[in-house]
Amino acid sequence: MYLAATTAAPATPPPPPHTGGLLALIPGTAGLLTVAALGIALLLVLIIKVRLQPFVALLTVSIAVGLAAGLSVTELFGTVQKSDAVSLIETGMGGILGHVAIIIGLGTMLGAILEVSGGAEVLSARLRHLFGERRAPLAMGLTGLIFGIPVFFDVGIFVLAPIVYAAAKRSGKSILLYCMPLLAGLSMTHAFLPPHPGPVAAAGLFKVDLGWVILMGLVCGLPAVLAAWGYAAWIGKRLFVAVPQDMVDAADEAKAAVAAEKPAAGAPAHEKPVALTTVLTIIGTPLLLILLATFSSIALAPSPGRSVIEFFGHPFVALTLALLLSYYLLGIRRGWSRTSLERVSTASLKPVGNIILVVGAGGIFGAVLKGSGVATALSDTFHHVGLPVLVLAYLLSLALRVAQGSATVAIVTTAGIVVPLVEGQGMSQAHLALIIMAISAGSIFASHVNDGGFWMVSKYFGISERDTLKSWTVLESVLSVAGFAVAAVVSLVV
């Protein structure tokens, strides 16, 4: 299994209080809470005002919080003399990336093969044919929902935008009617479902099996995306935005350039068309295998058969099998050379370095909070406040998202704060997965001018800033609130 189900462990005593740093001035819990508050404030200032890269900002704040809470340099960084001494920074970085980096890498390469092979266009065309031109917005939404599982949000916009342009031009209606359902589908999968970095990172920090994250992601995300589609249909009929001709021309040029490069890379100039069943099989295979492995541990007694299911359902194995399947079905069988497959895969990994480093820095932040005693102080304080952890997780993630814009930063920072609150509580894997969904829901609330996604939506679809606030920002808020509401209701019975 990805991460075995945890059992209730005896509560570990809090780390001994440190006497250095800020605590020399403000003793006890009050000092630790002051450190936490100042640390989060510093993080926001560095990202928003100083425009420091989020990885550098998180690393800087983690070190500052550790020193202010009284951790020694040796505890933070280890020592040169003792090579076997593991520092908090190494523990935090390695502990999370040991799980996350492999999944993100495999998922990214899988999405790239689906993208370059034309799988998105096949999926969209078949759905439009199935639903008809009158229900083309629904077809766009389903395209974003399905294709968004293996590809990053920004890649999904880049690949699927030309399909939106074409649908809007054919109908003569507002482009919002077609792009907003698509964006809702892409945003839902990005926030709630693996192999996207947010939910995968949170699963690693909470030690939750990915199968539970997938299941609760579907349970919370599907009703949320339906609510978002309802708003998309409403705003699309009331706010007319014309198709941006300059982006249409740019998309046509990019498509021609890609087609010209394929033969040089080893891919055939005239490839066989991709079958819809092939696309759905490749996308669905890892999700099905992971879910089967998760529930075999519940429904089946230990046996060789269960071991086989759990082996193939391990996320590393399931995603590797899906990637190899895509190599054959979308590449080799359609005339691609091995060189072409290697180039596409390698090129796809270039943008993920920033994501992996940010996730790793979030792991460092969590480790420092725990090792310094700040996490224990936060846990005691929040328990006295009386807010349910699910609500607290959502509000913290929402506040961080609105303040600094990055969903990934909001998720990993919130998870680092919330994980200590649930340790030793005996919560089930299902309930922990719902807390992850609350964090994920908060991380997409109210995308506005400090979020790169806001500007990508505005520029790709030719929407003014004011209209983007009316459409995209509200759409994200609907998706967020609906996803959290479902998680809160389900938590009452799980």
CA 300, 306, 307, 313 torsion: positive or negative? Answer: negative
- DSSP letter for each residue of 351-372: THHHHHHHHHHHHHHHHHHHHH
What pLDDT shows up at residue 260?
55
Summarize pLDDT for 179-203 with one digit per residue, the tens: 999 999 999 999 999 989 999 999 9
pLDDT higher than 70, residue 298? yes
Q: What's residue 166's pLDDT?
A: 84
pLDDT band at 16 (very low <50, low <70, confident <90, very high): very low
Tell me the per-residue pLDDT of 199-258, one tens digit each, with 9 for 90 and over: 999 999 999 999 999 999 999 999 999 999 999 999 999 999 998 887 677 666 655 555
What pLDDT sits at residue 34? Answer: 87
Rounded to a whole number of angstroms, the distance between the first and last alpha carbons of the chain is 21
The tokens describing 84, both together, are: 């076997």
Percent of the chain with pLDDT over 70: 88
| Alpha-carbon span 418 to 407, nearest angstrom | 16
CB of 114 within 8 A of CB of 282? yes
How high is the pLDDT of residue 133? Answer: 80
- Helix H segments across 266-332? 276-299, 304-313, 315-326
pLDDT of amino acid 319: 93
pLDDT at 24: 46
Q: Which long-range contacts (CB under 8 A, 24 or more apart) does 27-33 make?
A: 29/377, 29/380, 29/381, 31/69, 32/69, 32/372, 32/373, 32/374, 32/376, 32/377, 32/378, 33/374, 33/377, 33/378, 33/381
| pLDDT at 264 (0 to 100) | 52
414-437 in b/e burial notation, b at 16+ Cβ within 10 A?
bbbbbbbbbbeeebebbbbbbbbb
More confident residue, 37 or 1: 37
Say how far apart CA 494 and CA 431 lie, in whole Å.
6
Q: What Rg, from alpha-carbon coordinates, does the chain have?
A: 23
The number of residues in the chain equals 494
pLDDT digits (tens, 9 = 90+) for 123-180: 888 888 888 888 999 999 999 999 999 988 888 888 888 888 888 888 899 999 999 9
> Residue 271's pLDDT is what?
61
Identify whether the C-beta of residue 114 lies closer than 8 Å to the C-beta of residue 151.
Answer: yes
Instruction: Give the distance, in angstroms, between the CA of residue 28 and the centroid of all CA atoms in the same chain.
Output: 36
Task: Collect all residues with Cβ–Cβ distance below 8 Å to 78 and sequence separation of at least 6.
Answer: 85, 86, 87, 90
Residue 72 is given by DSSP the state -
pLDDT at 19 over 60: no
| Cis amide bond preceding 302, omega within 30 | no
d(CA 239, CA 235): 6
What pLDDT sits at residue 2?
37
Position 3 scores a pLDDT of 39
Residue 36: band (very low, low, confident or very high) from pLDDT cuts 50, 70, 90: confident
Distance CA 189, CA 185 (A): 6
Q: What pLDDT is attached to residue 233?
A: 95
The answer to whether the beta carbons of residues 190 and 153 sit under 8 Å apart is yes
**What pLDDT is recorded for position 255?**
56
DSSP conformation class of 22:
G
Interior/surface letters 43-55, b for 16+ CB within 10 angstroms, e for the rest: bbebbeeeebebb
User: Can you tell me the mean pLDDT for 79-95?
Assistant: 72
Angle at 293 between CA 390 and CA 424, to 5 degrees: 35
Residue 3 CA to residue 146 CA, distance in Å, equals: 26
| 369-383 tens-digit pLDDT | 888 888 778 777 777
Give the pLDDT of residue 323: 94
Q: What is the pLDDT of residues 421-448, one digit of tens each?
A: 888 888 999 999 999 999 999 999 999 8
